[in-house]
Chains A and B, each alone.
Chain A
Amino acid sequence: GNSVTQMEGPVTLSEEAFLTINCTYTATGYPSLFWYVQYPGEGLQLLLKATKADDKGSNKGFEATYRKETTSFHLEKGSVQVSDSAVYFCALRGGGNTGKLIFGQGTTLQVKP
């Protein structure tokens, strides 16, 4: 079945450091891929998405490229801020018409000033 694996956290960085959070997936067909962010005490918000191979999703300085050859969708940001501290979830949506998402386990990012 479909699955998503994220790197273990927590990830602790200093402000302005480069961020990479790894995400790999297993899926049949051509899934859509998403990154969601969860700030403390809140629900999940869509951060970015990509719907086909080689698509690059981007938002708020974050980027991720859909790599079908390596089944990966790694999240990157060139210079993190304290306000980026949150939990990040990689997710995929497979075929069919249900819209169901499969989530990774989440990666906690802590950015120190």
Chain B
Amino acid sequence: NAGVTQTPKFQVLKTGQSMTLQCAQDMNHNSMYWYRQDPGMGLRLIYYSASEGTTDKGEVPNGYNVSRLNKREFSLRLESAAPSQTSVYFCASSEPMTGRGNQPQHFGDGTRLSIL
């Protein structure tokens, strides 16, 4: 069971470089999410896509862009990396809320990104 797959697992960038983090899910979920995890701050939502063809900003969108390429794939792009974007990035997917919305999110293993 692949679930949610993120690539790459590790990456080191120099300030100003760009890169795209890839995420794919094989559970036929409609909704996908990108979070960043920083020490002592839990996970914070960067962007999400409630369904194919839609994207919306989360809590900390500045410096990022996203693309919902199709139902399976949701990529996160850093156009000009900054040291403040050093973090662990997690992608997640879920079914959309129905009724009381108890559909859990499924997470990938994360991308550990360091920006020098």
Q: A-side interface residues toward B, CB under 8 Å?
A: 4, 30, 32, 34, 36, 41-46, 49, 51-52, 89, 93, 95-101, 103-106
A10 to nearest B CB, angstroms?
11
Besides A99-B101, A105-B41, 11 new A-B residue pairs in contact (Cβ under 8 A), listed by A number: A30-B100, A36-B107, A43-B108, A43-B109, A45-B107, A97-B50, A98-B31, A98-B56, A101-B105, A104-B42, A105-B42
Q: B-side interface residues toward A, CB under 8 Å?
A: 4, 31, 33, 35, 40-45, 48, 50, 56, 58, 90, 92, 94-97, 100-110
User: Do residues A98 and B48 form an inter-chain contact, with CB atoms below 8 A?
Assistant: yes
Residue in B31, B50, B107 whose CB lies within 8 Å of A44: B107
Residue in B31, B41, B42, B107 whose CB lies within 8 Å of A99: B31
User: Do residues A100 and B45 form an inter-chain contact, with CB atoms below 8 A?
Assistant: yes
A69 to nearest B CB, angstroms?
19
CA distance A41 to B108 in the complex (A): 11
Which of B42, B44, B97, B100 has most A Cβ within 10 Å? B42
A-B contact pairs, 28 of them (CB 8 A): A32-B101, A32-B102, A36-B107, A41-B109, A43-B107, A43-B108, A44-B107, A46-B106, A51-B101, A89-B43, A96-B97, A97-B50, A97-B97, A98-B31, A98-B50, A99-B33, A99-B48, A99-B94, A99-B95, A99-B101, A99-B103, A99-B105, A101-B43, A101-B45, A103-B35, A105-B40, A106-B40, A106-B42
Number of A-B contacts (CB under 8 A): 75
Q: Is the interface of A mostly helix, strand, loop or mixed?
A: loop
B100 contacts across to A, CB distance below 8 A: 30, 32, 51-52
A27 to nearest B CB, angstroms?
13
Q: Which 10 A-B pairs have the closest CB atoms?
A: A43-B107, A103-B42, A46-B104, A105-B42, A44-B107, A51-B102, A103-B43, A51-B100, A43-B109, A99-B31
Q: Is the interface of B mostly helix, strand, loop or mixed?
A: loop
CA distance A86 to B33 in the complex (A): 23
B2 to nearest A CB, angstroms?
13
User: Do residues A43 and B96 form an inter-chain contact, with CB atoms below 8 A?
Assistant: no
B90 contacts across to A, CB distance below 8 A: 43-44
